[in-house]
Amino acid sequence: MKAIDFKDKKVLIRVDFNVPLDKDGNITDDTRMRRALPTLTHILEAGASLIIMSHLGRPLKKLNEDGSINVKKFTLRHLVRHLTDLLGTQVQFADDCIGDEALLKSSRLQPGEVLLLENTRFHAGETKGDRDLAEKLAGLGEIYVNDAFGTAHRAHSSTATIADFFTPEHKTAGLLIEKEIENAQKAMYSPQRPFTAIIGGAKVSDKIKLIDRLIEKANIIIIGGGMAYTFFKAMDGQIGNSLVELDYLDLARDLIKKAKDNNVELLLPVDSKCASSFSNDAERDTCSSMEIKDGWMGLDIGPEAEKTFAAAIQGSGTILWNGPLGVFEFSNFAEGTFSIARAVAQATESGAFSLIGGGDSVSAINKAGLSEKVSFVSTGGGAMLEYLEGKELPGIKALG
Ligand code: AMP
């Protein structure tokens, strides 16, 4: 991006400003806005004007009862004041991302000025990658920058199709996307060894491709969260009412074998914090993960597993973490995930490179107050997962 001369240009940029809002429209976490700032300020300081596009939520999936769009809830107007504060310059707003007002306001922009467009997902064509919408959006600027890593795995009008309307010299990825890819590549292609991957979350079915690929790249794979119980079941363990995907038992066995064949150490939590029901206030007990009582379920890793996992993490040169190790939303079952967050932070302090690969592990590291103590926290849940799985991201491919 830094090779492009932005002076006096109108730059159309797609960012991921899909921030959480409270019921009054106040931003409750502005991380996504702050992560786009280096790109936005670079372009403004280079003497350009900015036309900013983003989506916010899924407005067409949550229509008003009369079938109209709930503009009040999903408008990007909620972001104008805070963006003005962050950029230190008054941000203008257009009530539709295409049409006369957007055209007029963008044509009148002077260098240093900023126009924020209304939610791109107010148009049904956006998520379908519609060409007509993409062409109209493209008509607003002279250079297209995509810095929305969080939606880079979507072939939408403003993230992918739009790039067809710009020549290679007039389109680029922004600094955030560059950083996301650089960090993912560092972990996957040139890891300082040992390379430890920590994979948690609810379902093994969501993470199979990732685990399969990591078996070819990592030295140690730590498996936690709900998905661990499918592995225990596959080893004939008694898992009570723990989460399990019975269709995936063979696959779990295959992964165990493949890891062994590749000399990859696959670590499962030997013990679990078990609960008598799926509730924070359930009766609790620590148990062997292979011997969970009928009616009980594993909701977090146990103290032995915490110790084993922490030791593996602390001896690592590279750490990739995707997915919580337990139901960390329940305070009584969050300790396992937090202990992993602390171990990753400590290993980073000792010189390891650590990448927090998006989604719930990002909320976990934030909740633990340790996001500044790891090397890189990804802004893209699904996008990072797909990139790590080895898939091509349409939003990046479109840039040529
Ligand atoms: P994912 O989106 O696949 O990364 O999964 C994250 C979700 O997995 C979180 O909402 C956790 O509460 C849930 N989870 C983690 N461990 C368990 C577990 N042992 N049992 C049930 N759900 C879990």
In the prediction, which pLDDT does 359 show?
77
In the prediction, which pLDDT does 395 show?
97
Q: pLDDT for 198-239, tens place per residue?
A: 999 999 999 999 999 999 999 999 999 999 999 999 999 999
CA of 337 from ligand 1 middle (Å) equals 11
32 has catalytic annotation? yes
Q: In residues, how long is the chain?
A: 400
Which parts of the chain fold into alpha helices (H)?
Answer: 31-45, 71-74, 80-87, 100-107, 131-138, 175-189, 204-214, 228-234, 249-261, 303-314, 335-349, 360-367, 381-388, 394-397
Every domain of the chain with CATH number 3.40.50.1260 lies at 10-173, 182-388
Is residue 82 pLDDT above 80, yes or no? yes
Burial class (CB in 10 A: 0-12, 13-18, 19+), 167: exposed
Is residue 358 pLDDT above 90, yes or no? no
Instruction: Supply the mean pLDDT for the chain.
Output: 97
**Average pLDDT of the segment spanning 383-390:** 95
Out of 1.10.3720.10, 3.40.50.12160, 3.40.50.1260, 3.40.50.1360, select the CATH number for domain 10-173. Answer: 3.40.50.1260
| C-beta of 299 in contact with ligand 1 (< 6 A) | yes
Q: pTM for the complete prediction?
A: 0.94
CA of 299 from ligand 1 middle (Å) equals 8
Six-digit token pair at 244?
A: 């399990």
Six-digit token pair at 139?
A: 């008509």
In the prediction, which pLDDT does 118 show?
98
Which CATH class for the 182-388 domain?
Answer: alpha beta
What are residue 112's phi and psi, to 5 degrees? 90, -10
Is residue 355 pLDDT above 90, yes or no? yes
Amino acid type, 36 = A
**Which residue in this structure is represented by tokens 């932070």?**
345
**Average pLDDT of the segment spanning 106-122:** 98
| C-beta of 228 in contact with ligand 1 (< 6 A) | no
Six-digit token pair at 85?
A: 């504060």
Q: To which H or E segment does residue 271 belong?
A: strand 271-275
CA of 227 from ligand 1 middle (Å) equals 8
**Which residue in this structure is represented by tokens 């609960």?**
275
Residue in 383, 376, 356 with CA at minimum distance from that of residue 152: 383
Q: pLDDT for 12-63, tens place per residue?
A: 999 999 999 999 999 999 999 999 999 999 999 999 999 999 999 999 999 9
- In angstroms, the Cα distances linking 49 to 45, 69, 85, 210 are 9, 30, 17, 40
Q: pLDDT for 282-329, tens place per residue?
A: 999 999 999 999 999 999 999 999 999 999 999 999 999 999 999 999
Return the ligand 1 atom nearest residue 330 CA: 12
What are residue 215's phi and psi, to 5 degrees? -60, -25
- Half-sphere exposure for 386 (CA within 13 Å, toward CB): 16
